[in-house]
Structure 1
Amino acid sequence: MKVPTPLTGCRVDRTAFDHQVRLSLSALDPDEGYRVDAELAIETPFLLCDPHGQWHELDPGTGASLAPVLDLFGQTISSVEIHGKGALHLTFDNGAELHVGPDHHYESWHLTGTGVDPITVGPGEETAWQPPPQPEPHHTD
């Protein structure tokens, strides 16, 4: 699996919560506009270490308990790593860390957008990593 290194230097422009936790990420190229305009969607329990070193076990769809994620707004990703069978680890410029491991039963996270290769970490083993399906070309006869 290719590590999505273009996320390094991206800023968190928006956080959104429902049955997923979504981070809108962007990075500007001074000459050409957006270098990256992407969304990271987290669908399973994850870990967030705040800038003070306190770890939070968080679960999408749990409302106010997701408040620590709000502190990622405006922060910049300083490093991106993928470990093992699809565990995503992001470090932010304020010292916060986000860790999303793979799940045996559900899609745990996916990344889509401009400037990044799409990634979906689905249930199961490492072989379950795959980009989201691309739409079939429509032929008119």
Structure 2
Amino acid sequence: MRVPTALVGCAVYRTAFDQQVRLLLVDSGRVDAELVIETTLMLRDTAGTWHHLEPGTGAALAPVLDLFGHTVRLVEVRGAGALLMAFDSGMELRVYPHPHYESWDLTGTGVAPITVGPGGHPDWDGQ
């Protein structure tokens, strides 16, 4: 699978959460993609504090709202599908593969569709 480097330069246009965490990532005319996170995520805020967040936990997901309007400056996929995204604000998002569940999914215009299923995916290109 290819690392979704097309996300670099995209702004977080919308955040949403329920049983999943969703980010709409847009770079007008180039990329219009949705990242769906279904398992635990780690989010570093602008003060450098790490938040361990679980989809489906309501108001506990509030730190995700601070991603709104910020631009992706780095995207990496490590190991079997650990997603790392860094933003212009200094915030950082990490999502690791889960042994039993789909952890993250990316679809949309300007990106190849990616699903990191149970156990992850061992082959990543484009670092």
Identify the TM-score tier after normalising by the shorter chain. over 0.9
Q: Secondary structure of 1:9's match?
A: coil
**Structure-1 separation of matches of 2:3 and 2:39:** 20
Alpha-carbon deviation of 1:118? 0.3
TM-score by length of 2: 0.94
- Match of residue 15 from structure 2: 15
Is 1:65 matched up with 2:60? yes
In the alignment, is the contact (CA less than 8 A) between 1:23 and 1:41 conserved in 2? yes
After superposition, residues 130-141 of structure 1 pair within 5 angstroms as none
Is 1:41 matched up with 2:33? no
Alpha-carbon deviation of 1:126? 2.5
- Match of residue 106 from structure 1: 101
Shift of the 83–127 alpha-carbon distance from structure 1 to 2, 3 Å rule, reads closer
Shift of the 125–14 alpha-carbon distance from structure 1 to 2, 3 Å rule, reads closer
Shift of the 125–41 alpha-carbon distance from structure 1 to 2, 3 Å rule, reads closer
**Structure-1 separation of matches of 2:14 and 2:55:** 16
Tell me which stretches of 4 or more aligned residues in structure 1 moved more than 2 Å: 125-129
Is 1:25 matched up with 2:20? no
User: 5+ residue gaps in structure 1?
Assistant: 29-33, 130-141
Shift of the 67–125 alpha-carbon distance from structure 1 to 2, 3 Å rule, reads closer
**Structure-1 separation of matches of 2:77 and 2:68:** 22
Over aligned residue pairs, what C-alpha RMSD do you find? 1.4
Letter of the 2:2 counterpart = K
Q: 2:113 aligns with which of 112, 115, 118?
A: 118
User: Whose RCO is larger (CA < 8 A, sep 6+)?
Assistant: 2
- Match of residue 84 from structure 1: 79
Q: Highest Rg: 1 or 2?
A: 1
Q: Secondary structure of 1:88's match?
A: strand
Letter of the 1:7 counterpart = L
Alpha-carbon deviation of 1:124? 1.9
In the alignment, is the contact (CA less than 8 A) between 1:104 and 1:124 conserved in 2? yes
Letter of the 1:75 counterpart = H
User: 5+ residue gaps in structure 2?
Assistant: none
- Percent identity of paired positions between Structure 1 and Structure 2: 65
TM-score by length of 1: 0.85
